[in-house]
Structure 1
Amino acid sequence: MRTMDELFASRLRSAWRNGLLYALKAGRNVMVPMSVPFVAVGVAFVYRYLLEIVPDRFPSELFLAVVLAYFLTRCTVRTFVKEPDLVFLLPAEARMKDYFQRAVRYSSWMGGLSFSFVMWFALPFYLFELGDFASFLLAWVLLVPVKVWNVREQWLSVIWREKAWVTGLRFVANAGLAWMILHGFWFAVLLPFALFPLRKRWPAGYAWSELLLLETKAIARYLALASFFVEVPERLNRVRTWKLGKAPLSWERANPYLFLYTRTFLRHSEYFGIAVRITLTAFVALFFISHVVIGLVVYLLALYLTGKQLPNLVGERQYPDVLALYPLPEEAKLKGYSHLAFGLMLVQSLVLNLPVLLAGLPWWYLPCGLLLAYLLAFFDLPTRFRERMEGKKA
């Protein structure tokens, strides 16, 4: 029988092995090396432009403190709990302390690493608005322990089933701590650790259902990210219960795959949500951009990212029984797939054209967007679709 330390180590290795497997698959996807530089250049252009238009009286310290407080407060505690544990490990609950302590330590390390990435991203803003690299490095070193403290507090909030207002109070405290540290009051980092004796002791029991739900959400987020680059058959998704109404029978018969894919897109939480988030982000950004080239990059980048996240929508694993009822050739799937992609990017390009016109950007953004949508929908996506079909036949 495995000890609790061996059980945690085994599950940790399994999680990293699965994660590295998807990373290697994504690296072998020829579109990833092509997409990353394009996205990086677009983000760099927008970031630099936003720094240049920051007003002189902009409350930079307060703004950065609030942003950092969000990432300090948002914590993920990975416990690698599985559904059978609610039955088979419950009798051993009294001996699970070492297991969960290792989970909290691991989550603290990963939380500090992820927060370090956020600080690295905030470095240009800090140097441009607040201070030099030495003071930034000191703030970085002092804020990482605050992140570790937040991971522990998040763990206690889960197992003690604390109310949401406790997390809100922690966010306010984090904003105050970040502001004080950015303002030069370095001793503020000692305040969270002074609160350790005031918190409740390690519990005798654990909120197994909550821990399982959090672990399921963490896995779903990773698989959603991986699905941008590779096919993820075990992806966890939530389907909306929208009642879309009955489509005209003639349209459904004439375009069965387009009908099927459209309903899947509208009711499938991840695909629809990703497209909405991309559109809203670009929509807001275009209001504040006056540079023609940067605006065009943002406009086209939104369409490009939307087109690239659609291939998993037509995976056969999503329709194991329905597709067998359609006695139609593979090209019919391709037709429905391409028409949905083009229609979606057409709507997106029209929506994004509103802030383009209001910001005084050129009118020819729209034809450029329609051209990109046409190339993606009827040339790029069909090529990848046929390659996948040929690979399955081989």
Structure 2
Amino acid sequence: MFNPNQLWKKRIARHAKETGRYLRLMFNDHLAFALLFFIAAFAYFYQQWLETIPDEFPADWLIAVILGFFVTRSPIRTLLVEADTFFLLPAEHKMGPYFQKGFWYSFMIQLYLLALSLAALAPLYLTVISEDGKSLIWLGVILIIFKIWNLFATWWMLKERDAKSRQMDVAIRAVLNILTLFFLLQGNAYLFASISTILFVSYLIYTYQSVGKKLGIAWDLLIEKEEASMQAFYRVANMFTDVPHLKKKAKKRHFLVHLLINSIPFRQDQTFQYLYRITFVRSSDYLGMYVRLLLIAIFLIFWVPIVWFKLVFAVLFIYLSGFQLMTLWNHHRTIDWIDLYPVTKKVRKQALLQFLLMIMLVKTAILGIFILIAASWQEMLLLWGIGGVFSYLFVQMYVKNRLDKRKVS
């Protein structure tokens, strides 16, 4: 006899085991040290910044937008798999308890993220908005209520197959969430906050009446969303370890590909130089990660007031880029024709080492220019020197030793 509660227990146990395994590999000693340093330094400079924050700083809008984002983004985890469209379809009328558990599981996970974001913004709130801690607690209660409402709206809209309608739903909820939070933060705009809340509830009722009452379950859409969530997790995990479940997607990016491969000579020993460069550009993982780390480093260079910490953060993000791009070595491991290339693994290893060094030196050069703008030319030259030496030692000592341990030479 079909038992939806037992099915959920099996699915959540398997999900926890799989994600836990990757999380242990992701949060290794290197990343833990980098995160610990980053959090400690960020907290210190955050406090320093709050002491000199200008009166005209739009703290209310900043808090409303950040919290509004976390409230609006409310994906529902169902842990469904593709085979469920065949095996669970006959038991669709019994799946209510299963989806209820998925709903509240999603709520608990997102509540944790929402609490972290509120905790991070609490010093700014207490400094600029209100010194009353009770008002911050009430704000947390309101966030919980709005989060539940947004989860219900997301669940109802999962019965709507039109992608544009779902996108419009997210946009409407985001605007109403942000406006309501902004009015609440004003302290004297409760009338406007009430009006925006009434509009939000009215929109919820409309969504339920027009979409939520639809019969049946859009199995293909639920499975598509669940698979997208898992693939997003796998992409992050793949930066730290091998993920065989990851489905890779390639993007054309003709201009960037031409820019990187134009200087490569047409020789057999340059095969993997070509392959690693186009993989870096066309993959949906590496280029985006590289650019995001670059932007965060630039932000910290301008935000951190002490010059030496600017340099430390710059070198830290140069290291993170090199460390996470090491996974290029295993990117094509499931493609058999890679092994048919008439190129030795020693040449392949050297190609990866050269490419990583180039990528790290490019980031060093770019960050040096921003150090020049934020500080002086002496600090720029210092970063170029330290970053260049660090990049060379990291590639030739750490990365090379890691590859040697895998017996690739």
Match of 2:236 in 1: 225
Q: Is 1:144 matched up with 2:162? A: no
Using the TM superposition, give the Cα deviation of residue 50 of structure 1 relative to its aligned residue in structure 2, in angstroms.
4.5
Alignment deviations for residues 287-326 of structure 1 (CA, whole Å, 9 cap, x no partner): 4454312321332222121111112110165353133123
Q: Taking structure 1 as reference, are residues 47 and 202 closer, same or farther at Cα in structure 2, changes over 3 Å only?
A: farther
Cα distance in 1, alignment partners of residues 312 and 48 from structure 2: 12
Alignment deviations for residues 250-302 of structure 1 (CA, whole Å, 9 cap, x no partner): 44423322222222111111011111111123234434454312321332222
Q: Which runs of 5+ in 1 are unaligned?
A: none
Match of 1:61 in 2: 60
Alignment deviations for residues 130-153 of structure 1 (CA, whole Å, 9 cap, x no partner): 223333223123212211211111
RMSD over aligned CA atoms reads 2.8
Q: Is 1:213 matched up with 2:232? A: no
Q: Which moved more, 1:248-257 or 1:296-305?
A: 248-257
> Which of 392, 396, 402 pairs up with 1:378?
396
Match of 2:319 in 1: 304
Aligned AA (1:273): G
Equivalent positions of 1:79-228 (< 5 A) are 79-132=78-131, 133-161=133-161, 162-184=165-187, 185=190, 188=194, 191=198, 197-198=205-206, 199-200=208-209, 201-228=212-239
Q: Taking structure 1 as reference, are residues 348 and 46 closer, same or farther at Cα in structure 2, changes over 3 Å only?
A: farther
Equivalent positions of 1:30-49 (< 5 A) are 30-48=29-47
CA contact (8 A) 2:264 2:273 kept: no
Cα distance in 2, alignment partners of residues 241 and 90 from structure 1: 38
Cα distance in 2, alignment partners of residues 334 and 136 from structure 1: 54
Q: Taking structure 1 as reference, are residues 312 and 125 closer, same or farther at Cα in structure 2, changes over 3 Å only?
A: same
Q: Which moved more, 1:371-380 or 1:333-342?
A: 371-380
Cα distance in 1, alignment partners of residues 66 and 6 from structure 2: 38
Using the TM superposition, give the Cα deviation of residue 6 of structure 1 relative to its aligned residue in structure 2, in angstroms.
2.0
Aligned AA (2:182): W
Alignment deviations for residues 22-51 of structure 1 (CA, whole Å, 9 cap, x no partner): 223345x44234333233234335534554
Cα distance in 1, alignment partners of residues 51 and 253 from structure 2: 44
Alignment deviations for residues 154-195 of structure 1 (CA, whole Å, 9 cap, x no partner): 222222243422211111110122123333449859755676
> Which of 328, 337, 353 pairs up with 1:322?
337
Normalising by structure 1, we get a TM-score of 0.88
Q: Taking structure 1 as reference, are residues 268 and 30 closer, same or farther at Cα in structure 2, changes over 3 Å only?
A: same
Cα distance in 2, alignment partners of residues 14 and 383 from structure 1: 35
Equivalent positions of 1:234-273 (< 5 A) are 234-243=245-254, 244=257, 250-273=265-288
Match of 1:11 in 2: 11
Q: Taking structure 1 as reference, are residues 51 and 326 closer, same or farther at Cα in structure 2, changes over 3 Å only?
A: farther
CA contact (8 A) 1:233 1:317 kept: no
CA contact (8 A) 1:349 1:366 kept: yes
CA contact (8 A) 1:81 1:215 kept: yes
Aligned AA (1:366): W
Alignment deviations for residues 47-94 of structure 1 (CA, whole Å, 9 cap, x no partner): 345545532111211221122111111122111121122333334333
Cα distance in 1, alignment partners of residues 264 and 384 from structure 2: 33
Q: Which moved more, 1:269-278 or 1:355-364?
A: 355-364
Q: Taking structure 1 as reference, are residues 323 and 163 closer, same or farther at Cα in structure 2, changes over 3 Å only?
A: closer
Q: Taking structure 1 as reference, are residues 36 and 249 closer, same or farther at Cα in structure 2, changes over 3 Å only?
A: closer
Q: Taking structure 1 as reference, are residues 11 and 194 closer, same or farther at Cα in structure 2, changes over 3 Å only?
A: same
Match of 2:384 in 1: 366
CA contact (8 A) 2:268 2:343 kept: no
What is the SS of the residue equivalent to 1:310? helix
Using the TM superposition, give the Cα deviation of residue 203 of structure 1 relative to its aligned residue in structure 2, in angstroms.
3.1
Cα distance in 2, alignment partners of residues 98 and 109 from structure 1: 17
Cα distance in 2, alignment partners of residues 30 and 58 from structure 1: 38
Cα distance in 1, alignment partners of residues 127 and 384 from structure 2: 34
Cα distance in 2, alignment partners of residues 349 and 266 from structure 1: 19
Cα distance in 2, alignment partners of residues 336 and 370 from structure 1: 18
Alignment coverage as a number of residue pairs: 390
CA contact (8 A) 2:160 2:166 kept: no
Alignment deviations for residues 326-348 of structure 1 (CA, whole Å, 9 cap, x no partner): 34444323211111111111112
Q: Taking structure 1 as reference, are residues 24 and 284 closer, same or farther at Cα in structure 2, changes over 3 Å only?
A: closer
Q: Which moved more, 1:59-68 or 1:95-104?
A: 95-104
Q: Taking structure 1 as reference, are residues 124 and 227 closer, same or farther at Cα in structure 2, changes over 3 Å only?
A: farther
Q: Taking structure 1 as reference, are residues 175 and 130 closer, same or farther at Cα in structure 2, changes over 3 Å only?
A: same
Using the TM superposition, give the Cα deviation of residue 19 of structure 1 relative to its aligned residue in structure 2, in angstroms.
1.1
Amino-acid identity (%)? 25
Q: Taking structure 1 as reference, are residues 88 and 43 closer, same or farther at Cα in structure 2, changes over 3 Å only?
A: same
Higher relative contact order (CA 8 A, sep 6+): 1
Q: Which moved more, 1:58-67 or 1:182-191?
A: 182-191
Q: Which runs of 5+ in 2 are unaligned?
A: none
What is the SS of the residue equivalent to 2:241? coil
